[in-house]
Amino acid sequence: MERGSQERELSGYDVVIVGAGPAGLFAALELMKTHKVAILDAGKPLVRKSCPLMTEKFCTNCKPVCHIMGGFGGAQFFQGTKLARYPAGRAMLDFVNKVDELENLYDEIDKRLESYGKFSRPIPDPEKLAQLQSDCENLGLGFRYYNSQKVSRSEMNSIGNGIWEELHKGGVDFYEKSLVSQIEKINSHFLLTTKRKQFLSPIVILALGRVGARSMVGFADALGLEYEAISPEEIEIGIRIETPYHVFDQIDGVHNDLKVTKDLGEQGVLKTFCQEYRGFLTKCCYNLYKEDSFSTIDGYILGTHDVEPETRSEVSNLGIHHGFKPTGTLQESYEMVRRISAKKQPIFQSMKGFLKGVVDGGFSVEPSMPDAELEDINKFLPIYSAKVIKDFIYTLDKILPGISDGGNIVYAPSFELGAIKMKISSEFESNISGLYIGGDAAGHIRGSMQAMASGTLIGRHILRKKKGKNLVPNVNCFAQVLQF
């Protein structure tokens, strides 16, 4: 137990949720009518979140958590998101009985979001979709489709404010700027410690999101949570490409999260991801390992139908990764990313410069992310990765004419170095009874829709398991115990 813990105010709850992202919020929506719920988050409320990159044009490495990644709603409710349905997030089938059940759950989530102002989910033209798939397959590319709805920043802001109002009226207590430093299991309860307060509850939901996922190692080791260790078996490294928006005109509304792959055999796989039509790129920071802070690149959606023409983005972007089995250790992979991020900011160059291996800033579009260093990305990527990514860009130009144009902008780093996978039940409950892990932090699923689904399922399992029980702990009695 942390020294001085007896000086902190102690509050008791039926359920304490750590993380106010999609998973945590949707768990609270299920539980608020029958349980006394607290949500703790290291960041700020949505209405007070602001990124210095948008206002001051440079990153200040916000502490204790990036304002984009952390705080109420996480990145999704702050920047906008894509809501991808099955077959995206196939791992969700480990937590529901069958596809129909998962589709029904997604229907519920869509309807709930629509009640806060989300537009109905559009259905693409099947002929255009079939043509896009045929074009990819004729080039020897793998093609994967799922319905992915673009929801803009302003739309998600409005939805987030609606959820906050409902939870607030439902009696949920929010604790902002409350970084949880320690979680202890004491008899049948959990004691959570922040700088100013302690919280006591028989049920804890860890919904830390991507930004907090790496804190799971410390919590897991301290509590005895079971997990699969971080493994260097496969990593992904790559780039983001920013282009004039018209490059993506032909697939806008057909596939809003283009997933195209190129199988390289034993050398891994190339893949596209995170397509942002009329969106911006921004820097975000999170701890890659322990206390090391790294910058990476994230995209957000600005330009859907609810944005005024004069404020629309004139650019779109797409990510490309090379996934492969590294020959070295995971720590060596960290070092590779650390070199790219040595100045705590991303690097960029023109497409012409990237393809030729020279530093060049002759951009045909205005960079949407100004806080980047002009540098040759080829110096930092593995030689083979740089080569196959360039070849992939030329191939993609045959289905997205203009993506290889010399004036486009190439950014780095973009990476996935793996994370721990928590051992959880089909109800998202850990090996310690009463402790649940949802969303990205569990290491099983990714995506906004999937995080919301996990929170919903966790809430419903708690309702079934604890029905009729009085859960709120007697903090006065417990405080006396803590003094000994």
pLDDT, tens digit (0-9, with 9 covering 90-100), for 360-393: 999 999 898 877 889 999 998 999 999 999 999 9
Written as one letter, the residue type at 380 is F
> What does the block give as tokens for 291?
């206390």
Specify whether the CB–CB gap between 271 and 260 falls below 8 A: yes
pLDDT in tens, 347-360: 999 999 999 999 99
What local confidence, expressed as pLDDT, does residue 479 receive?
A: 53
**Which of 9, 27, 25, 367 has the alpha carbon at shortest distance from 196?**
9
Specify whether the CB–CB gap between 86 and 102 falls below 8 A: yes
Which run of H or of E encompasses 240? strand 235-244
SS3 228: strand
Is the bond into 413 cis (omega within 30 degrees of 0)?
yes
Confidence of residue 484 (pLDDT cuts 50, 70, 90): very low
Instruction: Please tell me the distance from the alpha carbon of residue 259 to that of residue 141, in angstroms, as a whole number.
Output: 10
What is the rounded (10 degree) CA torsion for 331, 332, 335, 339? -170
What local confidence, expressed as pLDDT, does residue 417 receive?
A: 72
pLDDT in tens, 113-137: 999 999 999 999 999 999 999 999 9
Find which of 237-246, 272-281, 334-343 is predicted with most confidence, using mean pLDDT: 237-246
Find which of 204-213, 325-334, 449-458 is predicted with most confidence, using mean pLDDT: 449-458
Written as one letter, the residue type at 384 is Y
> What does the block give as tokens for 222?
């301290």
What local confidence, expressed as pLDDT, does residue 304 receive?
A: 46
Q: Is the pLDDT of residue 72 over 80?
A: no
SS3 443: coil
For 4, residues 6+ apart whose C-beta sits below 8 A from its C-beta are none
**Which of 223, 336, 221 has the alpha carbon at shortest distance from 288?**
336
Instruction: Please tell me the distance from the alpha carbon of residue 417 to that of residue 333, in angstroms, as a whole number.
Output: 8
Beta-bridge mates of residue 227: 422
Q: Is the pLDDT of residue 275 over 90?
A: no
Q: Is the pLDDT of residue 73 over 90?
A: no
Instruction: Please tell me the distance from the alpha carbon of residue 218 to that of residue 441, in angstroms, as a whole number.
Output: 13
> What does the block give as tokens for 273?
């991801």
Q: Which long-range contacts (CB under 8 A, 24 or more apart) does 126-132 make?
A: 128/254, 129/254, 129/255, 132/251, 132/254, 132/255, 132/399
**Which of 267, 239, 236 has the alpha carbon at shortest distance from 403?**
239
**Which of 227, 234, 228, 294 has the alpha carbon at shortest distance from 69?**
294
Query: Which option is the CATH number for 5-123+153-228+420-482: 3.30.365.10, 1.20.1050.140, 3.30.950.10, 3.50.50.60?
Result: 3.50.50.60
Chain region(s) in the chain for CATH 3.50.50.60: 5-123+153-228+420-482
What local confidence, expressed as pLDDT, does residue 5 receive?
A: 47
For 227, residues 6+ apart whose C-beta sits below 8 A from its C-beta are 216, 220, 420, 421, 422, 423, 443
What local confidence, expressed as pLDDT, does residue 452 receive?
A: 95
Q: Which residue has the higher pLDDT, 51 or 422?
A: 422
Cα separation of the two ends of the chain: 12
SS3 355: helix
Look at the block and give the residue holding tokens 């032909």.
250
Percent of the chain past pLDDT 90, that is, above it, reads 54
Q: Is the pLDDT of residue 475 over 70?
A: no
> What does the block give as tokens for 12?
């008791």
Look at the block and give the residue holding tokens 């260097």.
232
Look at the block and give the residue holding tokens 């690149």.
297
